Each structure stands twice: as structure tokens, then as C-alpha cells.
Amino acid sequence: MRLPEDFINEMKDIVPKFDDFLNSYNQKPARAFKVNENKISAADYIALCGQRENVPFAADCFYAIENEIRGAHPYHHAGMIYFQEPSAMSVVNAFDIDADLALDMCAAPGGKTVQLADKVKYLVSNDITPSRALTLKSNVERMGFTNVAVTCNDPCEFEKCGQIFDLILVDAPCSGEGMFRKDETAVAQWSKEHSLSCADRQYAILLSADKALRQGGTIIYSTCTFSVAENEGVIERFLQNHDYELVKPSQRITDYTTYLTHPYMRRFYPHLGKGEGQFFAAIRKVEGGSIRHKESRVKSDYSVAAFVKELTGLSLDCVRYGDNFYIPAMPYALDLRYMSGGVRAGGYVGKTFKPDHYLFSAYGSFMQNAVLDEDAAVKYIKGEQLEGSMKGYGAVTIGGASLGGVKGDGSVLKNLYPKGLRN
């Protein structure tokens, strides 16, 4: 790979074992995946698929083997796993997280949302770009999360929410230097000027995050670049102008990272571990009074709630937004542009209520279900009908994880898997 000369000259001054760093660009990147313990435990997944090397700083994450399961496989469709760059898994796992309401401000396609969702009570997962937000929404649905709302807003729009978030993750748009080995487009687009413009944008995003963060709350900042201006430079500038303190990362992560200016601001390098370039730091807003958003619920639609209870056995709120009915992800009513306010339960077609795929993905384990082997699951995600004795709505599962919905008549299972998701 031919790297920009200006980039090489900058890296000479900051990268340890520089020759090894350059040689790493001739090596194949590592792949890894997180087991979605919302659907299957890590132990059960490994028992199902065979032993994998654990990512050392993330207990439910593993390095992928050469022919590892890909997107067309039923296990992926069922939301059992999420593939992610290994070093990116460090960001959320570097800190002990205890938050009721969290925001992933620049979330698409959703890797760090997947990491956060099982560590916080409620999560707003946002991306500014509609097409990317739709991808984010699709991944959240596939994973079956019930506590994640997906939004599509400019970071500055969160300022109007008030200081409500306990934790904000800013995985900031960057020059992508750490991804050069995986993305030659990033190499072609790189310039010093672009890197500096990224730093200005990143700082502006942090300003918006500050206005949405409660006193005593934490911002986790990360990039996939090596640029000092975009990393340490952004954090140091912010600390000079705001009353925050750096947070010490866990020892489980410092053993696999290095630093330049401060031991609490950590870097991954591709020649020092299995992964690409990554920077992260956490900063805490000094203690003081906090502003909490008042809980506000839309009145539950009891007919849909009754349908959901009959299907799942669970008593869940179901609220109406336009023509759609949702099981809310959180009790907070925020003035934001939502792609999804929670689990879409379904909608009416005429006078008939039709359940949504998200309902089956999130709550299929509570429904009557038909257990599929891999061959039957492949047929299902192709859109084929299956044989089965089930009557009425239910879920089909593989490996204990819900794959989607069906409607049975006692002999045939009508396939309800969305056409847009079929292989």
C-alpha cells in the first residue's frame, strides 16, 4: 500500500516501532465479532460454533476465523453476533459504565451501540445522515434491542433536550487514518487540511454533547485516526475551556494500548495488537446539580397492548405514533427526529393488526415458536414457507435466538420475514 508522504512524516514523530508500523500495512486485518447476549450467551454461542480466541479486553467478543459466519448466515440474520473491528471494541469496554440514560451521538452503523445497549438502562442511538440512520435502525432491530431508540439529528439538536444524559459517546467523524489498511478510499481522501477540518468539527460536536450532559456525567470520545490534532488536540482544547476531568481507563485495556501525552488518553496501533487504529478518552463533567427530564408517556393503546400480551404473555405499553404502534424504548419523551421510538409492534391493514418483524426479533423467545435447523433457517431467510403444526402467530428460532415471525394454520407456516431482508 502506498501511503501519503505527509502522513508518513507525521507518524514518524509519534508512532513507536515505526518500521513495524509500516510493515503492518502489508498484513491482513483481523476480524472480530461480539456475541449478542440479548439473544444468546457467549458460552452457548461458542458451544454452537466452536472455540474462538477471546478478544482480551471484551469478555463477549471473539476473533473471527478465516471462514467465519458472514452476513448471509442465519446466525447473523438472527442477531446472534455483530461483526466489528477488534480495536473498536475497546472504547466502551475501557470504562466501567453505570448510566440510566445514554446517547450514542454518531452511531451508524451501530457497533458501539451494540456494545452500549446491554450496559445502560436506556439508549438513544443517533446518526445525522438519514441513509446511515436507516442502517443503524436495521441493525438495532436485528439485534432485538428493547431499550434503544434510533434518531436522525444533527448533534447540535440535542442541546434543546437539556442536560439529561448520564453518558454520551462521541465516536467522532474523522480522517480515518486508522482504517487505511482496510479502506483505500480513506488513503486517497487524506490530506492535512482535511484532518484539521475534522478536528474543528469534532470540537463542535463535543460542545453540543456538553450542553446535553448532566453534571457528573461522562463523555467518551473516540476516533479511528492517529492524528494528534483530532485526538489529544481536541480533548486538550476542550479541557482548557470546560470544567471536566479525565477518567482513568480500566487496567484491562491499558495493557493493550499506548499513549502520547497523558496515560488516560489511549491509542491502538495495528502493529502492537490485533486491530486497526483507534483513539479514546473519557472526560467527566465536574459534580454539581443535575437537570433531569420529566418522564412523559403517551397513553397506551390497550387493544394493541392486549394483542402483544396474548402473543408474548408480557404486559407492555404500546403507544401510537401516526399509523404505527411501538413498545417504547424509554419513558422519556424527547423533542427529536425519531427513526424508531422503540420496538415497532406493528400496524393496522384495514381492520386487521399486522405484527412487525421487530416484535418477533425482540420478543420471539416469549412466543410460541418453531425450532429450525440450519437448512430450514436458510429456506426461511429466502422467504420460503415451512411445514409446521403451529396455529396463529409465532416465532421461528435457531440456536435459541429468534429469527423472525410466521403465521401457522396447523400444517404450513406462512413466512413473515421482510422481503428487504431476504437472501
SS3 (DSSP) at 47: helix
DSSP characters over 198-243: HHHHHHHHHHHHHHHEEEEEEEEEEES---TTTTHHHHHHHHHHS-
Are residues 117 and 38 in contact, defined by beta-carbon separation less than 8 angstroms? yes
Cell triple for 283 = 472526560
Of 45, 195, 63, 209, nearest to 124 by C-alpha is 209
- Cα 231 from Cα 233, distance rounded (Å): 5
DSSP characters over 130-185: HHHHHHHHHHHHHHT-SSEEEE---GGGGGGG-S-EEEEEEE-----GGGTTT-HH
- Cα 112 from Cα 136, distance rounded (Å): 11
- What sign has the CA pseudo-torsion 272, 273, 274, 279? negative
> Which residues belong to the active site?
224
